[in-house]
């Protein structure tokens, strides 16, 4: 038997606002951050995970992880990591903490980090990267970790088992092909809203030359600027599909109107046209902008909202996020819901470390659920990979299968220490120049 003897959190932030990397119509100046957790066992084993945030508030998530961590401290780790369904429920359905959500926002993300750190321990113990661990689990074991609470009118354990059993055929061949050929990627790096036209054109050319299947452009600030930037991109890389992303900027009618003014550029999808919680709004937008397709998911808090988006025919692409929801268990539920409604999953990865973790879900989806990569790709952004124990690799526009045992979340110790906020040496060096260290961040905008 092994025991959880430490749960250590770190508030890690990177000054990405200095270059406006990650900027869009709503997130105008993000400093990409990670509320990081390491679960230690008495055996010396460690499980690593984090929650991505945009900067301010990273300390709130970090503290929430500390509070939930008390529910795991001193417990039998073997029981936790070999019954991850029960471990997840113990955190997410805690009878008192549940009041703070339920199942949304800071508390859900904090639970997700701890659940993921337990999965990291499991995957390391079994010597496999997460995607391979999941792909080689029996369908019954996958179903066993999923929380079907409040999704039973769309997905039951029996239906989930059917989907996974169908996925068994040809699975070994698909695992082999993932190891040699990887999985398609698209890139958001050319299209941040804060980038100049020159940088947009230069990075679009570089992305097309690098073989990316698609490029994404941030929109929603100004319609004339959106038209100009889309035209520039289209002229530079006419053969490469371009998706657009409004980061929830619009009202429903405004979204329909705005997107239709961009229709001549044939966007591959419109992402987050309005509030993620507005399920009926997404359905109305989807009707109003057809044949342009609608995507969302990076800010969807849980499987129940995803269920409704699917039931309402509100989305064409589902963009799950690695650290927004209640952990890997909940993302497994979402992958199966998407399969049940035949909606492709194209994971969100704009943030620090999200590429490293989220790739595992698409690899698993291909190996064990849908068996297809048709119309599917994983988002890719350029920044901060050097801080990870196994930085993501993209070759010829495709994600290369990760091989390191674990869930892909481990950040190098030196990076975590240097960028611990606000006392790390990195922050002491740059002083007040990043957005996050501005003592009056709102004053400048008034
Ligand atoms: Mg987005």
| Structural domains of the chain sorted by starting position, each given as residue range(s) with its CATH number in brackets | 4-129+413-439 (3.30.390.10), 171-399 (3.20.20.120)
Whose structure tokens read 């507005």?
278
d(CA 176, CA 131): 13
pLDDT of residue 27: 75
Residues of the chain with pLDDT under 50: 442-446
pLDDT of residue 446: 39
For the question of residue 360 being annotated catalytic, the response is no
pLDDT of residue 145: 98
Cβ atoms < 10 Å from Cβ of 353: 28
Centre of ligand 1 from the C-alpha of residue 80, in Å: 33
Centre of ligand 1 from the C-alpha of residue 157, in Å: 31
Centre of ligand 1 from the C-alpha of residue 64, in Å: 25
Q: Distance from CA of residue 425 to its chain's centroid?
A: 28
Centre of ligand 1 from the C-alpha of residue 416, in Å: 26
Centre of ligand 1 from the C-alpha of residue 247, in Å: 6
For the question of residue 218 being annotated catalytic, the response is yes
Centre of ligand 1 from the C-alpha of residue 135, in Å: 27
Centre of ligand 1 from the C-alpha of residue 245, in Å: 6
Residues with Cβ < 8 Å from 337, sequence gap 6 or more? 151, 154, 155, 303, 306, 307, 310
Q: From the candidates 128, 348, 360, 387, which is the catalytic residue?
A: 348
Q: From the candidates 218, 307, 360, 387, which is the catalytic residue?
A: 218
The three-class DSSP label of residue 176 is helix
pLDDT of residue 24: 73
pLDDT of residue 19: 77
pLDDT of residue 374: 95
């Amino acid at each position: 038997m092994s025991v959880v003897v430490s749960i250590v959190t770190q508030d890690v932030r990177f000054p990405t606002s200095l270059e406006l990397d990650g900027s869009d119509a709503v997130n105008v100046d993000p400093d990409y951050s990670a509320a990081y957790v390491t679960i230690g066992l008495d055996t010396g084993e460690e499980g690593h995970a984090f929650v991505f945030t945009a900067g301010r508030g990273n300390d709130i998530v970090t503290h929430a992880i500390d509070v939930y961590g008390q529910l795991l401290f001193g417990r039998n780790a073997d029981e936790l990591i070999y019954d991850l369904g029960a471990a997840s429920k113990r955190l997410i359905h805690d009878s008192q903490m549940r009041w703070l959500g339920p199942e949304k926002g800071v508390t859900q993300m904090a639970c997700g980090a701890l659940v993921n750190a337990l999965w990291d321990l499991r995957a390391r113990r079994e010597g496999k990267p997460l995607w391979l661990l999941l792909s080689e689990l029996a369908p019954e074991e996958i179903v066993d970790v999923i929380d079907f609470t409040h999704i039973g009118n769309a997905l039951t354990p029996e239906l989930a088992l059917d989907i996974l059993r169908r996925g068994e055929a040809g699975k070994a061949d698909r695992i082999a092909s993932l190891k040699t050929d990887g999985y398609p990627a698209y890139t958001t790096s050319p299209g941040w809203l804060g980038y100049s036209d020159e940088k947009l054109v230069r990075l679009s050319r570089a992305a097309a030359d690098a073989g990316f299947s698609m490029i994404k452009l941030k929109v929603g600030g100004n319609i004339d600027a959106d038209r100009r930037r889309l035209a520039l991109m289209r002229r530079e890389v006419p053969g490469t599909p371009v998706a657009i992303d409004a980061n929830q900027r619009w009202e429903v009618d405004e979204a329909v109107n705005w997107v239709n003014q961009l229709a001549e550029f044939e966007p591959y999808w419109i992402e987050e046209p309005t509030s993620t919680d507005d399920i009926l709004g997404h359905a109305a937008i989807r009707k109003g902008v057809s044949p342009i397709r609608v995507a969302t998911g990076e800010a969807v808090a849980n499987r129940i909202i995803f269920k409704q988006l699917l039931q309402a025919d509100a989305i064409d692409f589902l963009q799950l996020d690695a650290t927004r929801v209640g952990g890997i268990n909940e993302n497994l539920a979402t992958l199966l819901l998407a399969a049940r409604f035949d909606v492709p999953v194209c994971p969100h990865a704009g943030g620090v470390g999200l590429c490293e973790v989220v790739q595992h879900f698409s690899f698993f989806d291909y190996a064990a659920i849908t068996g297809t990569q048709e119309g599917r790709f994983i988002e890719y952004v350029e920044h901060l990979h050097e801080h990870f124990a196994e930085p993501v690799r993209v070759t010829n526009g495709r994600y290369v299968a990760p091989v390191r045992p674990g869930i892909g979340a481990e950040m190098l110790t030196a990076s975590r220490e240097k960028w611990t906020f606000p006392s790390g040496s990195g922050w002491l060096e740059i002083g007040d120049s990043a957005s996050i260290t501005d003592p009056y961040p709102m004053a400048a905008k008034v």
